[in-house]
Structure formats: C-alpha cells, structure tokens
Structure 1
C-alpha cells in the first residue's frame, strides 16, 4: 500500500498544476458519474419495486373488495330470503283476513239489498201521493193566477189611457213656457251689447288724452338731449383736431397693411394648396409604409413561428439526446458489468485450466494445431508472398484470431478429457457403491450375529448411524456422455485404472474392523470445479 501511494504521489508530483487540476477534475467527474449511475439504478430499482408493490396492493385490495362484496351479497341474500318468507306468511294471513271480511260484507250486502227494496217500494208510494197532491195544488194556483192576470190587465189599460191624456196637456204647457223664455233672453242680450259699446267709447277717448300728454313730455325731453349731444359733439371735434393728421397717417398705413394682408393671404392660400398636396403625398407614403410594415410584421410573425418550431425541435432533440445518453449510460454500465462478469469467468476458466494442466499426463500435453488452422496460416503466408506485402504482426488482426483457434481447440480437448475422466470416476463410484452396499449388508449380518452371541444388540443402530468421514462424498451433477463423438473417450487412449484397494483387512489376533473408502480424487470432491451440468464439446 505504501508503494502504491508513493507511486501515485510521484505521479501527481510530476504533473503540472494544470495537468494535476485536470486529472483531479477527471477523477471527480468519474466518481460523480459513478455515483450518479448508482443513484439512477437505485431510483429505477425503487421505482420498479414501488410500482410492483402498488400493483400488488391494488390487486390485493381488489381481491379483498371482491370477497367482502361477495360476503355482503350472501348476507343480503339471506336477509332477503328471510324477508320474503316473512312477507309470504304475512300475505297469507292478510289474504285470509280479507277473505273473511269479503264474505261478511257479501252477507251484509244481501241483507241490506232486501231492506233497500222494501224501503224503495214504500218511498215510491209516498212520492206518488206527494206528486198527486202537488198537481192538484198547482192547478188551483193556476186558476187563481189567470183571474188575477185578467184584473191587472184591465186596470193597466185604464191607467195607460189616463197617462196619455195627461202627457198631451203637459207638453202644451212646456211649449208655452219655452217661447216665453226665448223672448226674454233675446231682449237681455241686446241691452247688454249696447252698454258694452258705450263703455268702449269712453275708454278709447280717455286713452287718447293720456297718449297726447305722454308724447308732449317725451318731445321736450328729446329736444333737451339733442342740444346736449350737439354741445358734446362740438367739444369732441375741437379735442380731436390734433389727432386728425395721425389718423390720416394710420389710415395710409392701414391701407398698406391691408394690401400686405391680401398678398400674404394669397401666399397663405398658395401654401395651403402646397400643404394639401404634401398631405396627399404623405398619406400615400404612409399607406405605402403601412403596407410594408404589415408585410414585414407578417414576415416577422412567420419567422417567430419558425423560430418557435426550431426551438421546439431543438428542445425535443435535446430531450431525446438526453434520454439516449441516459440509456447509453445504463447500457454501458450493464455492458461493463457483463464484460467484467465475462472477464471473471475467463479468469476462473484460466485458473481451472491451470489446475487441470497440473494433472495432465505427458501424452495429453502434446497437442498439435488443427489442420484447418494450419491451412489458413499457410494460405495467408502464400498470398502475402505472392502480393509482396510484408505482414505486420502488430496490425494483422486476422493472424491473431487464427492463432486463438488452436488454443480454444486445446481448451475444448482438455474439457472433453476432464469430462471423460469424470464419467469414468462416476462409473468407478457406482461400482464402489455397489460393493459398499454388499459390504454393509455383510457387516450388518456379522454384527447381528456377534451381538446375538454376546447377548446384546442395542448398539447396532447407533453404530450404523455414525458414518465415517471417508463416506461423505459431495454431490456431482450428472453428465450426458457421447463417447462415439469424442476421440479421447476411446479405450486405447485412456490411462489404466488404479487398482482398487481392499475393502477390509483381517488381522490375526484382532477383531474384524471395516474400512470403507470412496477413493475419489480431489477434482471430484472440490465444489468450485464442478458447477451445474457439464457438457462435452463436439469435435467434427
């Protein structure tokens, strides 16, 4: 650790200030990017988890609601059934009561019908008697009415004749009174008119006298005022004689000013005409400028809309690029993890190949390049010689790829050899297991006989329950072998099987002690070397 820190310090010391700042900034950016990616992954994981929890919560709530509703429906159904039964019983009882009431009412109606018939008969007889009595009375009253009517008509004729005579007399009297009143009214009207005319003459003469008096007084006063005016006018003329010359001069100036005013008026009219023309020109120019302004405003509006569209497109592109960058960051992180995992697997394979290489024999190590790789290399060398091009090992990538082929072929050969070894060891294991089962049965019989001979057999099960450590073998996954397609699986190229040690030994002077041994190699016992199902590589 000290050397590493010292090397890093030396590296920073060798840098300039700008390079050191750039390096530290780069490191800080990398750490920030890593932290940001971690936070993004955590947030994505939490969001997905929350979504799943929400979905499960909604699903569970829907299930609970459904169950609760089904329970409520069942309860409601039971209640409705009970209500239906109660209503049915109540309806039956009410129907019975109604039937009883109906029968009772029918009997009552029949009795009342008989009573009604009797009463109706007696009532009709009484009505007939009353009608006859009223008819007789009406006939008597009609005769009395006719007698009274004749008497009233005779009296009315007498009275009407008397009223007509009286009306003629009264009309003559009224005509005489009307003539008298008309004569009296005409005489009064003539007298009143004569009195009115006399009074009008008197008033007219009085008004003429008053008017003459007022006229004489006004004429005298007017004469006096005229004399005063003449005296004032004479004094005024004497007073303004000194100003007359000035008046003449001012009059000449006034004439000259009037002439100038007329000339200036003419000039003003000319200028007004020019101003009107200029106004027309300015209005035309204003209209033209207004049209240009409107056109430019429309162009400006179009450019503004285009700018807004471009801004929207740029924002969309930036958002899309941002999303792509996020996706690229996540995918790059996933790719890095996948590559790191692949590198880890490759390192494990290298370690496994190194471990397996230690256990290989001399014959297994002597592998040659496959024929196809050799042919490819020879063909490329011949083409290069014919073309006169010197192959650069630093730039010739295909040569490196072709060089990897024999290594992979060697790797798969090693894998196949290991798989065949494992299959052989499994066969040996099965054979040893069968022998072990036979020995266990023999040993159990022997111990049973021995305990029976000694008189006790309580420790048999305890002894059998304790299994030696040599019998604890790790579980190995099953292999699917295809010996016809693997060259190394032929019996000619295999190693001789190791001799099987004796299962148990009998020593003189000692009791028989069982010795069970699985005799498996460390490769089979290791848990790190066999993971999952191993398949052999096919070599065509």
Structure 2
C-alpha cells in the first residue's frame, strides 16, 4: 500500500494525497490514552484505530488513483487530438506536395513528349534532306560516270588506232633489222672462225712450252711443300688438338646457328608480313594524305578568302573608327561649348537672382492671361501626338516650360523698361531744352529783356508736370546763379552795354547740379 501513492505520483505528475489530520490526531490521542488506559482496552482501541486509518488511507489512495487516471486520460485524449490534427496537417502538406509533384511530372512528361515529337520531326527532316542530298549526289555521279565513259571510249578508240599504226611500223622495222642482223651475223661468224683457228694454234704452242717449264718447277715446289708440311705438322700438333676442340664447338655453334637461322627465318617472314601491312598502311596513308592535302588546299583557299574579307572588314572598321573619332571630337567640342554656355547661363541666373525683388522671389511665375476654355484647348493640343518634325523636337523641351515663362516675363519687362527709358530720355531732352532756353534767356543784354520772357513761354508750352522736382530744381538753380553778383563778370556787348555772362566754373557747377538733380536714364 505504501508503494501505490508513489506510483500514482509518477503517473499523474501530481503530489500524493496526505493523510487526514483527524486520523493522525486521533491516533496520537488514542496513543496517549492508551498510555494512560490500562493494558488490554487501550491496545484494542489502538489496533482498531490503526486498522481504520489504514482502511481510510487505502480508500483515499484508490480514489486518488481514479482521479489521476481520469486526468491522465484527459491529457492523453488532448495529446491524441493534437497529434491527430498535426498528422492531418502534415498529411495535407504531403498531399499538396504530391499533387504539385504529380503536376510537375505531368508537365515534364508533356515537355518530354513535345521534345520527342520535335526531335522525331527534326530526324524526319534530316532524313528527307539526306535522301535529297543522296539523290542529287547520285544524279551527279551518273552524269560524271556517263561523261567519263564517253571520254574513255573516245580515248580507247584513239589508242587502238595508234596501236595499229605503231604495230605495222614495228613489224616493218623488225623485218628490216632481221635482214641486217643475218648479214652482219654471217660476216661475224666467218671472221670469228678464222680468228679462233689462229688463236688455237698459238695457244697449243705456248701450252707445250709452259708444260715443260712447269714440270721442273712443280718437282721443286713439291719437295719444298713436303718439307714445309712435315715441319708444319710437327709445329701444329698441339694446334690440331685445339682445332678438334674448336671443331666440336663449331658443330655446336652450327647447330645453334641453324636454330637461330630458323628463328631468323620466322622473324624475316614476320618482317615481310609486317612490311606488307606497312605498305598497305602506307598506301592508305598516301590516299588519306592526298585527301587531307586537297582539304588543306581548300581550307587555304577559304582562309585566303576569309583573310580578304577580314582585311576589308578591318579597313571598313578603321574608316568607321576614324569617322567615329572625328565625330566624337566634334561632339566633345560641341558639348564643351554647351557646358560653357550652361555655366554662363548659371552665372547669369545667379546674377539675376540677386537682382530679383521680393515679389518675384515669392511668385516667380505670372498667372496665365488665357481663359479657362482657351487653356483647356491649349492643353488638348499639347497632349496630341505631333506629326511635324519641329513639334516632335519641341516635345523634348517640355521641362523648360517654366523657364520660358520666366524668360517671356523678363522679355516683357525688358520691353516695358525700354519704352519707359525712351519716354524718360524724351522728357530729359525736353527738360534740357527748357533749361538751355532759360540759361540763354538770363544771359542776354538789357535790350532783349524788353521782349517776352522765353522761359515763361517755354514753361507755358511744356508738357511736363508743374510739380516736377527736376524742373523746380533747375529753375531754382538758375535763379540762384542769376542773383550772385560775384559770379558774373561784365562783358562788353555789341551795343556797348555790359551783360552778366556766366563763367566756365559757374557753368560747370550748374551742369553738375543739373546732372545731379535730373540724372539721365541709363
């Protein structure tokens, strides 16, 4: 019973059940009472209590095992469900992979079948081309064969006719040579017989004389030979023994030589067969070399043609490169000019930026003067595809639209400033004329003063505003110069009177004040 809670703890992973506190307390109390109660009654109660506590503990363990078994079964069911879901998901993945592989396999089979069909079609085409080529070659071969047969028949007839002519000529020549030979042979035979008889008689006489001389010499030589042979036999006795030994060796050597000669004969036969094979191979190699030589000549001709084409292409490429170099240098110079022009435009733009007003910096583009309908028509025309070359070229400069707006604005302002400048120049000339008349009026004599005052008339005729600061400044300056007595010198006139005339310094001062008060528009 004590091992059961431990097993249930290992199975369920939960703590083992504890014994009830009441039972322990009761057993402790009973133990205390047993100690106090005398003998048999206390021992029976303690045994009953222990039995009841053991039974209760067994019941608790049985119930706890059932609880743990239910919890474990629930956990196992959850694990089984999770594993079944995981297995189902894995099976779905495997099924999808198998389906994709099956589709890939079907596509591969279709591609293979298509490639096989194309291959078979190409093979059929190649076979058809080969059959056409063989038919063409057979036709060419038959044509060449007929041509060669005709040439052979013509040459054969010509050779047979020439052979007949030469045979007739040779028969006639042989008959003539035989007649000449028979005559010369008869003459030579007669001369030979006469010369033979003379030589035979002479040789008989000489033979008899030489026989007599040779008999005496032969006897002397025979005696000398016998003596020399005896001395030679005595001297070469041991050499004779050595000769016998060498003779036996010679016989052995001869047998070996015969064997070697047989081997040598076999080797010679083998060499002859090898030579025959070599000759056959040489013949085949000569044919192959001839074929290769022809191939080499054809390749050399093709190489010469390719070299010619390559030289032409190289010359053309060189001319193209020279033209490209000239064009690139021209393009570089043009681009350099464009870069310089762009730098100058940027510098001018920076200078113009410094001269812009605050309003131009805030609103650099003026509003369009076209109505809304006119703007829509212009936009529609602008969006249409151009047909003229100039319009197509202008499509590349759409990004400069704002620039052209500012440029046109500046041009309009320039024209307005030019008109204003011309107006100011005209007004300045009028003011100068009025000032000149005024100066002439204040520098005349007393007799002229009686006449009407020119400045007043000119002032009445002037179209300038009366509150013009320039005009008032000139008049004030003129009056100040006229009222200064120290700046006028008496100059005698034609009437004998003295008239105040301005000095050069005074005129320079007046001109300085006039230019300062009324500056000319640049």
TM-score range for the pair, normalised by the shorter chain length? 0.3 to 0.5
> Greater relative contact order: 1 or 2 (C-alpha under 8 angstroms, separation 6 or more)?
1
Q: TM-score, normalised by structure 2?
A: 0.34
